[in-house]
Structures are given as C-alpha cells and as structure tokens.
Amino acid sequence: MPRMPALLEEFLVALAASTCLGATIAVIYWFVTGLSPWPGLILGEVIGFGWGSALLALTSPRSRD
C-alpha cells in the first residue's frame, strides 16, 4: 500500500488536533457560561479552522522518509 505524502499526513494530524481543541473549547464554554456556543463561538472556530490546520501542517517538523 503506497504511503501518503508527508504534507498531507501532517495536514490530517493538524486537522485532528484542531478539531479536538475546538470541541474542547466549545464544551468548556457551554459548561462555564450555561449558554450554547452556537453560532458565535462555533462559527468563529470553523472560520479559523482552515487557517490553523494549514499553519500547523506547514510549520510541523518534517520526517526524512
């Protein structure tokens, strides 16, 4: 089975990290304030999601496979 390109692999890892962080922040916000994080917080996270994932993937250490 061929291996994924390193940049795509790093992007997927960054995507997973960003998703976990965003979900954690939304749940904490909901518990602390008692208010639904939709639409303000969730939409803000979605907008920043692409930029954050791309920056994490581009600045991650490279493997020399």
Scored b (16 or more CB within 10 A) or e, 22-34 reads beeebeebeeeee
pTM: 0.64
Q: What is the pLDDT along the chain (65 residues), one digit of tens a residue?
A: 677 777 778 778 777 887 888 889 889 988 999 988 788 777 777 778 777 767 766 776 766 65
Q: For tokens 């602390």, name the residue.
A: 32
What's the CA gap between 27 and 36, in Å, rounded? Answer: 9
What's the CA gap between 58 and 53, in Å, rounded? Answer: 9
**Number of Cβ atoms within 10 Å of the Cβ of 21:** 13
